[in-house]
Chains A and B, each alone.
Chain A
Amino acid sequence: MVDFRRFSIGRRRFLKTTSSLIGASALSGLGSAARAADDVVRIGFLAPLTGPVAAWGKPGLDGCQIWAEWVNEEGGIKLPDGNRKVEFVSYDNEYDPAVARTGATKLIREDGVSFIMMLGGDTWPGVQPVADRTGMLFSTLLPSDLSPDTPTLVAPAEVHPVYNVTGVAWLAENKPDLKTAVMCAQDDALGLPSVATYLAAFEAAGIEMLEEPLLFDPATTDFAPVVTRLIAGNPDIVCLDTCYSDYVHPICEQLFQQGYKGQIISCTADFYDQIIAKTSKEFMEGFVFQFPDFDDPALNAEGINFRDPNRFFEVYNERHPGEWGAVSWEYASIMDLWKAAAEKAGSVEPEAVLAAMQDGGKGLHAFGEADWWGEDLFGINNALVGNWPVVVIEDGKAVIKEMRSIPDWYAAHGDLLKKHMEAYGQMWNQRG
């Protein structure tokens, strides 16, 4: 009957206590955590692996496996008490908060992981109490999950959607004759903060929105009506906001077929070669988005912290042809950051790794050294923000045009961003 006594002990102690509790409840015979501390460090991967959102989890896990092989070949994580091999333990959270909670409990208390990577979004609030109690270090791809309540959640890969401002700023600088824009967006946790960001970026760039952003339900299959409405006012720019590639493709196809000839800007353009096949090279020429191919020579530049991006891209495409997308590299890039922090801390203990990671307020982001930032928007400086690439399709190939600083933009136009985020209820203190 000891189990349900209140755990009012410190977090660090809690983690240790739990391992002895597992002994008590190992009757089930399934306590895989019985494998105690050995020469392996386990990393939890808690993302959707089945169901409609699986495309945001599964390709990331595939990327992590490549990462783990590379790191383990070199001996693994180098700690003072010897090297540790990395092993990923995955749990399919089905993008459901209750399942995610169960998964987090299993990963922490049974598998003994040292760090958990999540997609975040709908599933994070279910995990948050577990994070609170255990002090486990978590990462998310969606910084809108951040709040001052959870100091152990970091968003170290992409600070979606803030980096979208770089694309708009680049566009305004390089194509100053584009004066009007329209936008469509999926009506959910991914689309709405991005809408606010693009609105701020357009306002900062002096580009006029012809009408309110057009929201569509994520269950939409036919985009002809949305596109018809979008281009009715003859805009210079059509902005696709942040939407799933399942929508980017048919929207582009419809823009093409309904005779649109202007500029397109989007957060993502996964599998853009397929969009080109469905439209034309000329139509897609100049398409602005934010996610480079990792065979881009610009990623070999000084200061890029992702390990061997070109070879990663090559190996990934060999193993999983046609699956490359934004999430393929993002989880792996978080692991780079985590590994560096663990080695710096000389420990895989969550608290120590987090402290080492955020030491000096700077971190080694995939795209260069960046600041731990976010107090204004998220109430906590747990988002890693620095440069972000502006990618443009030229002659059928994505090319990094510029690494543009997000903090610089924010220093000049931060108030606009806050204004629009507030209007869409996306500031941390507005998010329920």
Chain B
Amino acid sequence: MFDLLAQTGLNALYAASYISLVAVGLVLIFGVMGVVNFAHGELFMAGAYVVVALYAGGGAPFLLAVAAGLGFVGLLGLLMEFALFRPLRDNPLGGLVASIGFLMILQATAVMGFGVRMEHIPPVTQEVIAFSEKVRLPMSRLYVIVAAVVLLGALWYFLKRTRFGWALRASAQDAEAAALQGISIGQTARIAMFIGAGLAGVAGALTAPLVSVNPHMGHSVIVTAFIVIIVGGVGSLEGAVVASVAYAFVHTLVTTFWDGVIADIVGLSLMLVVLIVKPTGLFGTADRA
């Protein structure tokens, strides 16, 4: 029983890592742009396909492919900012529809470029840290956990300790007031989109060797990310991280001791309860209705 719990804990830790990368990106985009980015799951998918193309297809080192995934998907984010969200700044529903259109384009592009079948990505490493016969942490999963901690730490430093970060937080709180303070809305928007999309991309790239990479893989990721950002509070980055961890543990435990469908129901109910009791989420403050 102890072994089972310990292994479940390790499983949950890994899930929490990649979910929080995706969710933090989604929160960042929503905070600064005021847009629900429906294409976020497909950005995750795009990151995975960068690894397919460079690492599995081109033989590039995995780390390089992951970095390229971050960069490429970050650029996709910039493209979205430039082509979709900037012209639709005063039209949040328009932004939503545009992101749906973008999602369909990304999916179809992946289908046409790589086919409908799942992609094969050779394992990066097969080493496993065995704590005991039944408690094992594969190195490939440890990498994801470490990368998530490092990236989120860097983001935290960037937001709290640099001028750009300060500007970003300011315009996330109140765009108009930030503009009055001489903060360039355009610039903060670009930074937020690059980072937000890049985080989704890097999450996709990092987990690509561990999941099934196919053009439709983004769907279940976005659903999870929505749940997490609601529970954490839509505007709160800290909340997104805490909620990712909480959700991952609850979901993993229920899957292990009950079943997967019940786990999904529990996750959604959790979200609904939070919405009813504290609609701004666990860490949310302002009502951004």
Chain B residues whose CB sits within 8 angstroms of the CB of A145 once the complex forms:
none
Say yes or no: A258-B220 contact (C-beta < 8 A), given A225-B256, A278-B123: no
Task: Encode B256-267 as 1/0 by CB contact (under 8 A) with A.
Answer: 110111001000
C-alpha spacing A247/B217, complex, angstroms: 12
Q: Are A221 and B123 in contact (CB under 8 A)?
A: no
- Would you call A319 an interface residue if the criterion is a C-beta within 8 Å of the partner chain's C-beta atoms? no
- Would you call B180 an interface residue if the criterion is a C-beta within 8 Å of the partner chain's C-beta atoms? no
Task: Encode A215-254 as 1/0 by CB contact (under 8 A) with B.
Answer: 1110111101110110110000000000001110110010
Chain A residues whose CB sits within 8 angstroms of the CB of B120 once the complex forms:
271, 274, 277, 322
Interface residues in B1-29 by Cβ distance below 8 A to A read: 3-4, 7-8, 10-12, 14-15
Which of B10, B223, B261 touches A187 (beta carbons < 8 Å)? B261
Chain A residues whose CB sits within 8 angstroms of the CB of B7 once the complex forms:
228, 258
Which of B4, B140, B216, B261 touches A52 (beta carbons < 8 Å)? B216
Q: Are A225 and B216 in contact (CB under 8 A)?
A: no
Instruction: Report the nearest A residue to B224, measured CB to CB.
Output: A221
Chain A residues whose CB sits within 8 angstroms of the CB of B209 once the complex forms:
278
Instruction: Report the nearest B residue to A246, measured CB to CB.
Output: B212
C-alpha spacing A274/B261, complex, angstroms: 28
Q: Are B261 and A217 in contact (CB under 8 A)?
A: yes
Q: Are A216 and B11 in contact (CB under 8 A)?
A: no
Q: Are A222 and B211 in contact (CB under 8 A)?
A: yes
Q: Are B115 and A323 in contact (CB under 8 A)?
A: yes
- Would you call A50 an interface residue if the criterion is a C-beta within 8 Å of the partner chain's C-beta atoms? yes
Q: Are A228 and B8 in contact (CB under 8 A)?
A: yes
- Would you call A59 an interface residue if the criterion is a C-beta within 8 Å of the partner chain's C-beta atoms? yes
Q: Are B255 and A216 in contact (CB under 8 A)?
A: yes
C-alpha spacing A58/B117, complex, angstroms: 9
- Would you call A25 an interface residue if the criterion is a C-beta within 8 Å of the partner chain's C-beta atoms? no
- Would you call B214 an interface residue if the criterion is a C-beta within 8 Å of the partner chain's C-beta atoms? yes
C-alpha spacing A325/B138, complex, angstroms: 29
- Would you call B136 an interface residue if the criterion is a C-beta within 8 Å of the partner chain's C-beta atoms? yes
- Would you call A352 an interface residue if the criterion is a C-beta within 8 Å of the partner chain's C-beta atoms? no
Say yes or no: A322-B136 contact (C-beta < 8 A), given A229-B256, A247-B212: no
- Would you call A432 an interface residue if the criterion is a C-beta within 8 Å of the partner chain's C-beta atoms? no
In the complex, identify which listed stretch (B69-77, B126-134, B231-239) lies at the interface while the others stay far away. B126-134
C-alpha spacing A54/B115, complex, angstroms: 10
Chain A residues whose CB sits within 8 angstroms of the CB of B11 once the complex forms:
222, 224-225, 228
Instruction: Report the nearest A residue to B19, measured CB to CB.
Output: A222
C-alpha spacing A300/B46, complex, angstroms: 43
- Would you call A102 an interface residue if the criterion is a C-beta within 8 Å of the partner chain's C-beta atoms? no
- Would you call A257 an interface residue if the criterion is a C-beta within 8 Å of the partner chain's C-beta atoms? yes
- Would you call B219 an interface residue if the criterion is a C-beta within 8 Å of the partner chain's C-beta atoms? yes
Tell me how far the C-beta of B16 lies from the nearest C-beta in chain A, rounded to whole angstroms.
11
Chain B residues whose CB sits within 8 angstroms of the CB of A51 once the complex forms:
216
Chain B residues whose CB sits within 8 angstroms of the CB of A59 once the complex forms:
117
The 3 closest A-B pairs by CB, nearest first: A216-B260, A246-B212, A274-B120
9 additional A-B residue pairs with CB within 8 Å, beyond A225-B256, A226-B260:
A187-B259, A220-B260, A222-B14, A222-B15, A224-B252, A231-B134, A249-B212, A259-B136, A278-B209
List 9 A–B pairs whose Cβ atoms lie within 8 Å, in order of A's numbering: A59-B117, A187-B260, A216-B255, A217-B261, A222-B14, A225-B252, A225-B255, A228-B11, A278-B123
